[in-house]
Structure 1
């Protein structure tokens, strides 16, 4: 798809939006071509091309005047506003640059060549982890701005809201254990910083000789919470890897060593987040197996150096 007026939306993306938003999503999809044309003209955008693997937002790359950009359009306007606020806070601290934003729209610097750390898995797993550590250290230097950001305790409400199912004894066991553990972790939390909130392999891109974070959620919490998303990803490829257990152990101890964090605390946050992800996947009728396997593995771990 090139230039304005020729927007072809993948059927898989359409299904995702309709499943999430129903009639509201259908109406948004119908209005996308005209919205796209308007945005292209009002922001001087051209040569726009859809990226692969769309999730919940429409993302295109192209040019604004002569500058390479990425255009992100979505129905969840509050989430896009939160991302814009986080990118402003992270400016100069390891994140992609935000060029402009308005209601339901972000215009971002385009990462070139844009290769993600997914390309490092599994052959260069430790190299990817070291790059992630550098990015985290930069991001966590950012000052927490005056704007309201959620706290990780807000994100953990999913544990409290889960209704126990007597037919799912495995999840009930983990839910109780994770709830108790989450309360202890929150009560003993280190000095909070502004976290990316979803810093996995796919959200770290190569850009002109550097690595930069994209798609920040923006949440306040301790650094040990941040590493868990990276440790459990790329989740679909990781949990079927023959050295799954060893990879997880090595990642935990390397993050502990490189970031000067307690290995046990990292492992505990990994566990809590895996149970929360399990509940989320169950509610969304998605594959729960990776989260279940990860939770079971965390319980089995004895934190000894691999």
Structure 2
């Protein structure tokens, strides 16, 4: 049997995000994990840190290492993740070894040694940014016709829902959300291409590996403008940590991203602002609380918007 011991924090994350569906999934998780271990001929190796999904290191029947990932199937987020990874085809991203969308299950290639690009930022932030630039350049390709992934433009609904729910400046300054919503629509309308996006590409989602030097994990899976990809890395890694070390690196990151991706600096800046506000909008969807650093980034970038 696989160890599905769950922390109170993990249970709380799942229940707050998915409510009754999350609670039902948590109760079924031990049995589901055991059934999949049998069906996919896996043996447990060890646990991995948990946030919103259950993940564990496993070994396949042929002796190769893999990762079993289980999530609330009603959300569909793991199906989008699997589809995005299949579109990437192993280029700068881990491979999907098996999927069961109905049960919210993925069997994934394990990136080993699995050290995140976060390890580079304390001593050489430009080197870490260069890693993410190279990953973006290898990941991006035109979206296939009929690909089963959501459109980036659909995320305008998050801004609109927030503005309806919160008519004033609490928990987020209304003018910031309004500006970000308008700019988001402008950027989508002026998209320079339509590619399969990782959608949450930052230092903790890029791991050192053997098949390629660096592999991306945990994509959101969305289709739209290539510039969207740069936003999450401007307020990461670890947006909840104290201090402004990451924010103090933003100017240099923006310049490096623009040069490395051949993207206008103003567009990098605009997507950075939009995604910082969007991150806080998503944080507010549950308990109405902001996370902090993305909001500080948005305020820092606002005076410099075109």
Q: Do they fold alike, i.e. is TM over 0.5?
A: yes
Per the alignment, residue 243 of structure 2 pairs with 240
Per the alignment, residue 53 of structure 2 pairs with 57
TM-score (norm 2): 0.90
Q: Mean alpha-carbon deviation: is it higher for 66-75 or for 20-29?
A: 20-29
Give the 3-state SS of the residue equivalent to 1:168 in structure 2. Answer: coil
Preserved CA contact (<8 Å) 1:235 1:290: no
Deviation at 1:106, TM superposition (A): 0.3
Within-5 A mapping of 1:202-217: 202-208=204-210, 210-217=213-220
Q: 206, 231, 234: which is aligned to 1:231?
A: 234
Within-5 A mapping of 1:1-306: 4=1, 6-52=3-49, 54-65=50-61, 66-77=63-74, 78-102=76-100, 103=102, 104-141=104-141, 143-162=143-162, 163=164, 164-168=166-170, 171-208=173-210, 210-236=213-239, 240-242=243-245, 244-245=247-248, 247-285=249-287, 286-301=289-304
Structure 2 unaligned spans of 5+: none
Preserved CA contact (<8 Å) 2:207 2:215: yes
- Counterpart CA distance in 2 for 1:202 and 1:216 is 12
Deviation at 1:58, TM superposition (A): 0.2
How has the CA–CA distance of structure 1 residues 275 and 111 changed in structure 2, closer, same or farther, with 3 Å as cutoff? Answer: same
How has the CA–CA distance of structure 1 residues 167 and 5 changed in structure 2, closer, same or farther, with 3 Å as cutoff? Answer: closer
Give the 3-state SS of the residue equivalent to 2:271 in structure 1. Answer: helix
Preserved CA contact (<8 Å) 1:72 1:105: yes
How has the CA–CA distance of structure 1 residues 275 and 243 changed in structure 2, closer, same or farther, with 3 Å as cutoff? Answer: closer
- Counterpart CA distance in 2 for 1:230 and 1:289 is 15
1:193-251 deviation per Cα after TM superposition (whole angstroms, max 9, x unaligned) = 11111111111111115101111122112221111111221143677235723x10100
Deviation at 1:5, TM superposition (A): 5.0
Preserved CA contact (<8 Å) 1:51 1:60: yes
Deviation at 1:273, TM superposition (A): 1.4
- Counterpart CA distance in 2 for 1:182 and 1:107 is 34
How has the CA–CA distance of structure 1 residues 91 and 274 changed in structure 2, closer, same or farther, with 3 Å as cutoff? Answer: same
Deviation at 1:111, TM superposition (A): 0.8
- Counterpart CA distance in 2 for 1:302 and 1:178 is 11
Deviation at 1:26, TM superposition (A): 2.6
1:20-54 deviation per Cα after TM superposition (whole angstroms, max 9, x unaligned) = 233432332222222221111111111332202x1
Equivalent pairs, count = 298
- Counterpart CA distance in 2 for 1:98 and 1:197 is 17
- Counterpart CA distance in 1 for 2:184 and 2:196 is 19
How has the CA–CA distance of structure 1 residues 169 and 56 changed in structure 2, closer, same or farther, with 3 Å as cutoff? Answer: closer
- Counterpart CA distance in 2 for 1:76 and 1:297 is 38
Deviation at 1:97, TM superposition (A): 0.9
Deviation at 1:14, TM superposition (A): 1.6
- Counterpart CA distance in 2 for 1:170 and 1:96 is 36
Give the 3-state SS of the residue equivalent to 1:132 in structure 2. Answer: helix
